[in-house]
Amino acid sequence: MEKQDKKPELTYTQIQEPLTIRRSVLEAALYSAEILKSYENLKKIHAEKDAYKKKLKTIIANIKILNSRITEELPELPQEERPQPVKKPEPIKPLKVEIKIPIKKKLMQPVAKSGLDLELEDIKSKLENLRI
């Protein structure tokens, strides 16, 4: 059997209102690029959150270890010297504790534009050129 190298025949059609179609395609590309950018930011935030969770778990584990060491090193009080429990303790008011997570300064500084940002600007400029 012989291999036949047939080139596909080209077919040309006329598109009605090509500028509106091109504009809608560019707007869709812009919208999808913005969604992709926000998704990448979301993934970065999730990674940072996981890192903070791991750090918090190690800190809690260290606190538990230190607490057990302290209870082991404290002297045992004889039964007679132990304070008697109060029958009706005062209600304990909840403490308001503010947890401050340090904000990374590098996130607040302008970052060099990534390839996605450059593509977004390119698509926006093409849209503006079409609207003229």
Question: Chain-centre distance of CA 26, in angstroms?
Answer: 27
pLDDT digits (tens, 9 = 90+) for 39-54: 999 999 999 999 999 9
Identify the pLDDT of residue 31. Answer: 92
Residue 32 and residue 128: Cα distance in Å, rounded?
18
pTM: 0.48
pLDDT digits (tens, 9 = 90+) for 63-111: 999 999 998 888 877 766 666 666 776 777 777 767 776 665 554 555 5
Q: Output 50-58 pairs: Cβ under 8 A, ≥24 positions apart.
A: 52/101
Q: Output 17-24 pairs: Cβ under 8 A, ≥24 positions apart.
A: 19/130, 22/130, 23/127, 23/130, 23/131
In angstroms, the Cα distances linking 70 to 74, 75, 76 are 6, 10, 12
